[in-house]
Structure 1
Amino acid sequence: MLVSPSFLYRGEPATVSGSLLPAPSSSLPAPSSVLSDTALATRLSYFLWAGPPDTRLLDLARDGRLRPALSSEVDRLLADPRANRFIQNFTGQWLLVRNLRLRTPDPALFPDWTPDLAASLEQEVLRFVGDFLVNDRPVTELLTARDTFMDARVAAHYGVALPPAASSATSAASSATPTAFVRAPLPEGRRAGLLGLPGILAVSSYPNRTSPVLRGKFVLEQILGTPPPPPPPNIPSLSEEAHDDAAPQTLRQRLEQHRAAPSCAACHAFIDPLGFSLEGFAADGRVRTEDGGQPLDTEGRLDTGETVRSAEDLSAVLAATRADQFRLQLATQLLTFALGRGTDYYDRPALARILREARADGDTLPAYLHAITRSFPFQNQRPPDAPPPAKENPNLVAKL
């Protein structure tokens, strides 16, 4: 029994085995089977609760009443404390903050970094995102919000006093926390939204130093959904390069050596400026003004022409000029999380519909979750014996 596939894996039986149903008319060919009501209840519960469906969901599924009641059931699941698991798992995977607990920076460089601090910084990000689940804020404020959640450790890391608990409201996020968190404004200047949170800045750095390349890649890959191509082979990292006494001191100057190579220049031209704007924060996410004893130059000129010098600048530009790109990335990450697979070209029409419906419904995180649960990929599955989807036809792809 312990090696039985039905014991190890969660199955999702179709309504009629092998019955192929057409995708929406605007879609590319992708034969699929409709999920049974019980399988839909299971997929919904694991999506939002990371666990099996409760009695109410199963009763609705067995009586054939789940699909008509789907919207109210999504609301019910999101209002339940078990939705905290969705925030923890989805945010940890999308923004990589679950990796914070694995960081081991040099104590000589970062003496205040401890496992407890890493846990608190992770919790801050979870609660920041969780607030969008319970307070119906527009998702673009993930980029521009000027408030966050702090406990005593996080406040000390920012170098600010912890606001009184009575003046704050907690949000849905992960369950047990090492100390009490309260809502608090981000310190003035430089910080805004996700890119201003120390946990995000730390997880997009090396343990012992910052990296404009890693941070720029994080923005492109996790925030905008446009990962850069891999670096060309045989290009040494900065730490592997030889430096003489006349070598430049700042990391920015050292990166110029990479950008001087024609094989590197094209990609670094749009990666590095994003990361340069975040260089005012050390590898632990704290504010800094020097690098290697020299004043920092945090100016970056984006490939679209804007000049940014801080997380606040960068977040404002992204929200103003690339909001649709961010929305698509969020929808793609949510659909990937819901389905347990990456999206493909035949999912594009469904993503376009998810975006339209979510924006019409308030452009909030719950609106995206509702749209996903109504979507064709969520309510259907490709049978294991289905033929491979037809190759992409550019004339059939719905523009997003």
Structure 2
Amino acid sequence: TWFGLMREGDVHARVVLRGKGEYAIRVKAAGDQAGPEAPKMAIRWNGADLKVVEVPERRREARLHEVRIQADRGTHKIAVAYLNNYVNPKEKDPRKRDRNLLLEFIEIEGPLQPVPQSLPETHQRIFFTQPSTKKPAAAAREIIGKFAFNAWRRPVERAELDRLMKLFELGQAQNDSFEKSVKLALQAAMVSPHFLFRGELQPEPDNPKQTHLVNEFALASRLSYFLWSTMPDAELLKLAGAGRLRRNLAGQVERMLKDPKRDALLQNFFTQWLQTRSLQIAAPDVTTFPAFSPELRRDMARETELFVDAIIRENRSLLDLLDADFSYLNGRLAKHYGLEGVEGDEFRRVSFKDGTRGGILTQGAVLTITSNPTRTSPVKRGKWVLENLLAAPPPPPPPNVPELKIDKEHPLTGTLRERMEQHRANPGCASCHDRMDAIGFAFENYDAIGAWRTQEGGASIDASGELMAGVSFNGPAELKKLLVNQNRDDFIRCVVEKTLTYALGRGIEHFDRCAVNAICVKLSQDNYRFSTLIQEIVKSAPFQKRRGEGSAPVAP
């Protein structure tokens, strides 16, 4: 069976290699010959050309092309591309009117000469020395000491290491192997509170009126778990050991935000703050919304991930979270949004012009999690904005307000907006809903799974509203502009408080107000850049210092 490339482009696939070594890529190709030159073919590996050749042979003389590569274990992309299409419908000989590249098969074989690996890399990193070069106890002490230093994220006291060595000696006394004896000590290091908890020693742990700088190793852990959700790497620990981390924090933050491990900040902070992790359990009614599928669910989540990663990676303004002129879409999600010009499964950056898309408020993930299974929910959408973007959650319902009784003789009728207005006629309901509903109705043009619509139940949608300050708007684009311009300070303060809460692992207290205010001022002076947010949090007193945890009251 032959596969024909009738225009310039490629065929590609993901391949998973089980081992490191040399591999052979083979392509059997021929061509439909037309024009002044033969078809040109490129064999590509992970996007790079390995070999570019002309293919003058016709199908019956098809030739096998081979290229050898050194490749690592893991997932790679292999592709064969057609580079020089030619079409001339005026050619007299119909066989010479169209040049095409024909492929019979593509195969990869290997590893031809696997790289020998006696032990896994992780094993070699732990057992970096062996008793063959020194006495067993000395080798074990080096291994256990280095492991405990990394696991506990700080220097190990001599007495602590002596206790771990007792376990090694116990294994040796039982005639266990060297590695099994060491393993016993390593297990003890990992069940220790020093590994399981981030202990931060301070001179006055029971005095809440006193604050003290955390030591450099504790600072390294705070920084690493904030940005990477894992223990400090060798560079952070080296700087901490030399007492130079605090004076080099800015450079380390910049380095860490460029590292792929920054993805942990996206997965563990942003999805928690924006509540998009709940998209995995959202359950739109499949009868009402048959377009919703597991694939669309994944696409929605991926759009938000790529969008937020661009904010981090490109050091963009935090205001872009509210109203950006771009997002990341693939063909399926673009079709769902009613947008043309995007095809295929690969996500790409797409620019917007009219304001109906752009920013997290108009992304399918947020619009879906703030809806009910069968319809939109202006209440949930408005409440989500107030809580997560403006740090102004609506008050709880007043006590002793009964459930809204259903009047069978005079049921609520009309569009959702009209039914909600009838609902708010009840004074007990209005006190909770006035603030939420006005914001939520701005997004009524998006259905419960984020698709654009102009009508509901045959009636035109009214997406107008008025904020509590008396400022009116009509539709999502105008509301986003209002949030960016008139509610900017509220939004920035909300972002600072949410991020600082995550960085500290505790809620914001009254004694943190000065730090929050200072960070907001610095952000306003630097166009609200994402890196400024992180740098200022890391430099702040709440991040650098620790307060005693006694029961004595603390003055504001």
Question: TM tier, shorter chain?
Answer: 0.7 to 0.9
Mapped to 2, the partners of 1:297 and 1:127 lie a distance apart of 32
SS at match of 1:183: strand
- Measured after TM superposition, the shift of residue 203 of structure 1 is 1.4
Q: 2:291 aligns with which of 112, 123, 126?
A: 112
Q: 2:382 aligns with which of 186, 211, 216?
A: 216
Query: TM-score, normalised on structure 2?
Result: 0.62
SS at match of 2:247: coil
- Measured after TM superposition, the shift of residue 181 of structure 1 is 1.8
Any conservation in 1 of the 2:401–2:428 contact (CA below 8 Å)? Answer: no
Any conservation in 1 of the 2:330–2:342 contact (CA below 8 Å)? Answer: no
2:551 corresponding residue in structure 1: 387
Cα distance change of structure 1 residues 41 and 294 upon mapping to structure 2, 3 Å threshold: same
Any conservation in 2 of the 1:280–1:289 contact (CA below 8 Å)? Answer: yes
Mapped to 1, the partners of 2:388 and 2:499 lie a distance apart of 12
Task: Quote the sequence identity (%).
Answer: 37
Mapped to 2, the partners of 1:34 and 1:280 lie a distance apart of 51
Any conservation in 2 of the 1:191–1:310 contact (CA below 8 Å)? Answer: no
Any conservation in 2 of the 1:192–1:311 contact (CA below 8 Å)? Answer: no
| Matched residue type, 1:31 | Q
Cα distance change of structure 1 residues 242 and 84 upon mapping to structure 2, 3 Å threshold: farther
Mapped to 2, the partners of 1:272 and 1:129 lie a distance apart of 27
- Measured after TM superposition, the shift of residue 55 of structure 1 is 0.6
Verify: 1:180 aligned to 2:346, yes or no: yes
Q: List per-residue Cα deviations over 1:35-69 (Å, max 9, x = no partner).
A: 12111111101110111110111111111110011
| Matched residue type, 2:362 | G
State the number of aligned residues.
Answer: 369
Any conservation in 1 of the 2:496–2:519 contact (CA below 8 Å)? Answer: yes
| Matched residue type, 1:48 | L
2:367 corresponding residue in structure 1: 201
Q: 2:221 aligns with which of 42, 54, 77?
A: 42
2:240 corresponding residue in structure 1: 61
Mapped to 1, the partners of 2:308 and 2:490 lie a distance apart of 18
Verify: 1:323 aligned to 2:510, yes or no: no
1:268 corresponding residue in structure 2: 433
- Superposition pairs of residues 73-84 of structure 1, within 5 angstroms: 73-84=252-263
- Superposition pairs of residues 70-109 of structure 1, within 5 angstroms: 70-109=249-288
- Select the structure that is richer in strand: 2
1:398 corresponding residue in structure 2: none
Q: 1:369 aligns with which of 534, 542, 546?
A: 534
- Superposition pairs of residues 125-136 of structure 1, within 5 angstroms: 125-136=304-315
Cα distance change of structure 1 residues 268 and 373 upon mapping to structure 2, 3 Å threshold: same
Cα distance change of structure 1 residues 158 and 75 upon mapping to structure 2, 3 Å threshold: same
SS at match of 1:72: helix
Cα distance change of structure 1 residues 251 and 234 upon mapping to structure 2, 3 Å threshold: farther
Any conservation in 2 of the 1:276–1:309 contact (CA below 8 Å)? Answer: no
Q: Which runs of 5+ in 1 are unaligned?
A: 21-28, 166-178, 393-400
Any conservation in 1 of the 2:466–2:473 contact (CA below 8 Å)? Answer: yes
Q: CA RMSD in A?
A: 2.5
- Measured after TM superposition, the shift of residue 155 of structure 1 is 1.4
Cα distance change of structure 1 residues 155 and 355 upon mapping to structure 2, 3 Å threshold: same
2:510 corresponding residue in structure 1: 345
Any conservation in 1 of the 2:381–2:440 contact (CA below 8 Å)? Answer: yes
SS at match of 2:322: helix
Cα distance change of structure 1 residues 164 and 212 upon mapping to structure 2, 3 Å threshold: closer
- Measured after TM superposition, the shift of residue 2 of structure 1 is 11
SS at match of 2:328: strand
Cα distance change of structure 1 residues 107 and 369 upon mapping to structure 2, 3 Å threshold: same
Mapped to 1, the partners of 2:362 and 2:200 lie a distance apart of 44
SS at match of 1:277: helix
- Measured after TM superposition, the shift of residue 325 of structure 1 is 0.8
Verify: 1:283 aligned to 2:462, yes or no: no
Cα distance change of structure 1 residues 5 and 99 upon mapping to structure 2, 3 Å threshold: farther
1:378 corresponding residue in structure 2: 543
Mapped to 1, the partners of 2:297 and 2:400 lie a distance apart of 34
- Measured after TM superposition, the shift of residue 101 of structure 1 is 0.9
Cα distance change of structure 1 residues 93 and 246 upon mapping to structure 2, 3 Å threshold: closer
2:131 corresponding residue in structure 1: none
Cα distance change of structure 1 residues 17 and 189 upon mapping to structure 2, 3 Å threshold: closer
Any conservation in 1 of the 2:330–2:343 contact (CA below 8 Å)? Answer: no
Verify: 1:359 aligned to 2:538, yes or no: no
Cα distance change of structure 1 residues 159 and 129 upon mapping to structure 2, 3 Å threshold: same
Q: List per-residue Cα deviations over 1:162-221 (Å, max 9, x = no partner).
A: 5489xxxxxxxxxxxxx5321102373533422121211111112221111111111111
Q: Which runs of 5+ in 2 are unaligned?
A: 1-187
- Measured after TM superposition, the shift of residue 235 of structure 1 is 5.1
- Measured after TM superposition, the shift of residue 318 of structure 1 is 0.9
Query: TM-score, normalised on structure 1?
Result: 0.85
Any conservation in 1 of the 2:325–2:355 contact (CA below 8 Å)? Answer: no
Mapped to 1, the partners of 2:242 and 2:543 lie a distance apart of 20
Any conservation in 2 of the 1:48–1:85 contact (CA below 8 Å)? Answer: yes
Between 1 and 2, higher relative CO (CA 8 Å, sep ≥ 6) is seen in 1
- Superposition pairs of residues 229-248 of structure 1, within 5 angstroms: 229-233=395-399, 241-244=406-409, 247-248=412-413
Cα distance change of structure 1 residues 69 and 211 upon mapping to structure 2, 3 Å threshold: same
Cα distance change of structure 1 residues 367 and 151 upon mapping to structure 2, 3 Å threshold: same
Larger mean Cα displacement after TM superposition, 271-280 or 8-17: 8-17
Q: List per-residue Cα deviations over 1:269-304 (Å, max 9, x = no partner).
A: 222110111111111011122223332221112222
Any conservation in 2 of the 1:158–1:187 contact (CA below 8 Å)? Answer: no
1:313 corresponding residue in structure 2: 478
